[in-house]
Amino acid sequence: MRVLQSFILALCMGLFCVCAPASAQSPTIPAQAWEAYKAKFLDASGRIIDNANGGISHSEGQGYGLLLAYLANNPSDFEQIWYFTRTELLLRDDGLAVWKWDPTVTPHVTDTNNASDGDILIAYALAMAGSSWRKQNYLTAATKIAEALLSNVVVKSGGRTILLPGAEGFMAPGRKDGPVVNPSYLIFEAIPVMAVLAPSDAWQTLTDDGMALLRDMQFGPRKLPADWVSLNRHPQPAEGFDPEFGYNAIRIPLYLARAGVTDKALLNRLTTGMTAGDGAPATFDLPSGRPKQSLPDPGYRIVNDVVACVTRGTKIPASSRQFAPSLYYPSTLQLLGLAFVGEKHPECL
């Protein structure tokens, strides 16, 4: 385990995160911003509340909460979130987390399938915190989740290595147009850490094939990826889902930027395509290219702002720098964007 810890520490020096002993680590999320976030979304049990989705909690939210608590350098809040996560969500026999927890019903777990992006976020945050704060139990838990991801949802299909969105329901023959993927579930910055935790060449192939798919997914007049994509023959919007660039996909450019991707053509195609006539990001109907819903919240706007910073050196507007949490999802994206720019591109602030 000491060897694993050393590898993660060395790896982190080349990634976005700053991995150092807790006494030396500087938070990339200011205490005031983290306090505002947790006052809005973190309850006493340690669950992150999705206030735009009926007050439920999910593995994605717990993973985001862990990552943000780590970036805020707040071990006590991290442990609070981890306690809820491990006791209420890590219930599956395969080592992955159930994805949905609803406070209004009993039992609270209403869907026992996993969501692979949530699992990646949880494992990634545990690995970062474990290496920075010298917490062997976090590293052990992160390793188990990474191994479970590799065994259950990182699969080869049609000559590609892909990430299934969940362990059940996304492959043929149960799903005729399977495999189905969600391109926003690929958290590229975390994949090298997964490869340290659960060594396999499959992780690098997953990154390479995932990037190739993003370059190929140019649906409709706006040339955008869909939230849900069938890879049964050639990539196309999956059956049974609206053929849209939606709330899932909106975070893809932010994930690419945070992972250090410098492909200006890809980044600019995505942000240009996802911006409506009013200058705000939006969700889009892919066949027609028509906007479905404008997304003016600073947490959505910051995705374009981060890409403009990375590709053109454009400063982040004051409206995106000011953090006043509203809804769980855009507020989370805003903190991830601000943390990244503050660490890697302070000239844009």
Task: Identify the active-site residue in 50, 60, 77, 244.
Answer: 60
pLDDT of residue 143: 98
Instruction: Determine the residue type at 148.
Output: A
Helix (H) or strand (E) holding 240: none
CA 46 centroid distance within chain? 19
- Predicted model pTM: 0.95
CA angle 264, 214, 327 (to 5 degrees): 85
Backbone phi, then psi, for 57, in 5-degree steps? -125, 155
Rounded Cα–Cα distance for residues 49 and 63 (Å): 12
Beta bridge partners of 163: 154
For 342: left if phi > 0, alpha if psi spans -120 to 50, otherwise beta; the answer is: alpha
Between CA 58 and CA 98 the distance in angstroms is 8
pLDDT at 262: 93
Report pLDDT for 21.
Answer: 36
Location of structure tokens 């209403």: 110
> Rounded to whole angstroms, how far apart are CA atoms 162 and 252?
16
Write out residues in the chain with pLDDT < 70, as ranges: 1-25
Q: Is 39 exposed, middle or buried (0-12, 13-18, 19+ CB in 10 A)?
A: exposed
Cα(37)–Cα(68) distance, rounded to whole angstroms? 9
**Residue linked to tokens 């591109």:** 345
Q: What is the pLDDT of the chain when averaged over all its residues?
A: 94
Q: Please name the amino acid found at residue 116.
A: S
**Given the structure tokens 């694993």, which residue do they identify?**
4
60 carries an active-site annotation: yes
Task: Give residue-wise pLDDT tens across range 209-268.
Answer: 999 999 999 999 999 999 999 999 899 999 999 999 999 999 999 999 999 999 999 999
Tell me which residue of 70, 89, 91 sits closest to 79, measured CA to CA.
70
Residue of 88, 117, 119, 177 marked active site: 117
* Paired strand residues for 230: 180, 236
Tokens, residue 82: 């981890």
201 is an active site residue = no
Structure tokens at 77: 């809040």
pLDDT at 17: 42
- Match 């049974």 to its residue by tokens: 240
| Residue 17 to residues 44, 45, 240, 289, 330, Cα–Cα distance (Å) | 27, 27, 38, 36, 21
